[in-house]
Amino acid sequence: MSEELGLTIKKKEDFWKWYLEVIKKAEVVDIRFKTKGFDVYMPTAVRTIREIDNLFIAELESSGHKPLMFPNIIPESNLITEEKHIKGFGTEVFWITHAGKNKLDERLALRPTSETAMYPLYSIWLRSHLQLPMKFYQQGRVYRYETKMTRPLIRPREFRWFEAHNAFKSKQEALEQVKEDMEIFRKIVEKACCIPFILIKKPEWDKFPGADDTYAFQTITPDGKTLQIGTTHDLGQRFAKAFNIKYTDKDGKKKYVYQTCFGPGISRILGAIIAIHGDDKGLILPPAIAPVQIVIVPIYTAQVNAVVMKKAGELLGSLAEKGFRVDLDDRLQYTPGYKFHEWELKGVPIRIEIGPRDIEKGEVTIVRRDFLERITVPEDKLQEQLLEIMDSIGFQLLKRAREYLTIEDAKNIDEIKEIMKKGGFARIDFCGNEKCAEKIEKQTGAEVCGTLFGKQEKIKARCAICNKKAVEKVYIAITY
């Protein structure tokens, strides 16, 4: 393997340098674009994102969402309509002020999120209770002037995402949608992408600007930090009242809708997949979202080239016909060893090797990317074995990923500091006061992420920070 192709940095020795090397050499992202925080998505990233996108599209549309495509710009008058919303995003907005040499009459924002772009039209589209629920989604890019250190995929200034924006007649229907969002996210991110997370209800001071409540999907990366990879929000009626989104009920009365929005962070999900699953040979992509699930590498000599290539081509066609995403590496200029290393670098879950002896015996050699284990399989059992191995790879990746997602209880600041040195979540009894959260961040560098959703955790003590009465258990971590 050439030095150019292989990784030179060990993941455990320097996680962040390893991450930067693997995204470069595996053709995921090129960070050399001249504007900081705006990166070039390379073929591996684009193709993997496409598979993740397809899963979200299928789930959203099967649950009644319809696609939209709004412009990337938002007039300033729209953006400032909801006071808390603009206050929350004001420092992160990219503004367009000129067209050519002409100053615009009204500034245009590159969208940091789309509520204020979409909801003025919701107020026009919606008339009757018969149109509810109204459920739309769109794919696209959003732009935020991140003031922290930018990180490719994890904290860029332009990033890929999905967003679903819904309107309902009742608060209960809206809350049911929030739960549905959570299940969609779990099905795709945990089961298909093999990324474990905990679902956190954000504290009052850290909610999405303008939301009644915000729920965040948070995982832990190998360097011990938490990464927020998606959110879902109960918006209540705040935006409905700001943008006059009303419907006429069956009795002819005008009423404001209740709204929700759901934002899976596609760029961050891909960043988490790379960071959590990858090893010292490169990426390891879960089979469900790998753009190439199987690569066939023929092993041949000059004398038997045609025979092996013919068999490899037949195998390619047979597997593709059965629905596998499969590629045949028939490049003559590279040795099989070089090809092995390249496909391992790019994280393809399964490699099939086939040579003259395999053909004679009616079998193939399978190499699974997670353990690099070699298995000889009779050709007539190949499909069955491939499906079993894919399931096994997904199971093992999720199992290994859960080892990073640690939670330890702490009784005071000193114990929080010790947990932060190791990484993961610290859990404490907490009074709910933002000043105590500020004290934690100042002394430990960690943030109060919020409370665990869906489980009433028993409070056993007084607040670990101020010793006043505790009202909840909160999760604390160093965040990206």
Q: What is the mean pLDDT of each run of 10 residues along the chain (480 residues)?
A: 72 97 97 94 97 98 97 93 76 94 96 94 98 97 87 94 96 97 98 98 94 97 97 97 97 98 97 98 98 95 81 96 97 92 97 94 97 95 97 98 97 97 97 97 97 91 95 96
Supply the pLDDT for residue 3: 45
- What pTM, to 2 d.p., does this model score? 0.95
Instruction: Return the bridge partners of 426, or none.
Output: 408, 476
The rounded distance, in Å, linking the Cα atoms of 125 and 168 is 14
Supply the pLDDT for residue 89: 76
Instruction: Return the bridge partners of 226, or none.
Output: 220, 479
Backbone φ and ψ of 329, nearest 5°: -90, 90
Supply the pLDDT for residue 84: 74
Is residue 133 reached through a cis peptide bond, with omega within 30 degrees of 0 on the bond before it? yes
Supply the pLDDT for residue 300: 79
Supply the pLDDT for residue 77: 93
Alpha-carbon Rg for the chain, nearest whole angstrom, is: 25
Supply the pLDDT for residue 1: 38
Show the 3-state SS of the chain.
CCCCCCCCCCCCCCHHHHHHHHHHHCCCEECCCCCCCCCEECHHHHHHHHHHHHHHHHHHHHCCCEECCCCCEEEHHHHCCCHHHHHHHHHHCEEEEEECCEEEEEEEEECCCCHHHHHHHHHHHCCEHHHCCEEEEEEEEEECCCCCCCECCCECCEEEEEEEEEEECCHHHHHHHHHHHHHHHHHHHHHHCCCCCEEEECCHHHCCCCCCEEEEEEEECCCCCEEEEEEEEEEECHHHHHHCCEEECCCCCEEECEEEEEEECHHHHHHHHHHHHCECCECCCCCCCCCCCEEEEECCCHHHHHHHHHHHHHHHHHHHHCCCCEEECCCCCCCHHHHHHHHHHCCCCEEEEECHHHHHHCEEEEEECCCCEEEEEEHHHHHHHHHHHHHHHHHHHHHHHHCCCCEEECCCHHHHHHHHHHCCEEEEEECCCHHHHHHHHHHHCCEEEEEECCCCCCCCCCCCCCCCCCCEEEEEECEC
The rounded distance, in Å, linking the Cα atoms of 339 and 1 is 9
Supply the pLDDT for residue 255: 98
Supply the pLDDT for residue 329: 96
Supply the pLDDT for residue 86: 73
- Please, what are the domains in the chain? 15-277 (3.30.930.10), 294-389 (3.40.50.800), 407-477 (3.30.110.30)
Supply the pLDDT for residue 265: 95
Supply the pLDDT for residue 82: 76
Contact 354, 299 (CB under 8 A): yes
The rounded distance, in Å, linking the Cα atoms of 430 and 437 is 9
Q: What is the dihedral of CA 34, 39, 42, 44, to 10 degrees?
A: 150
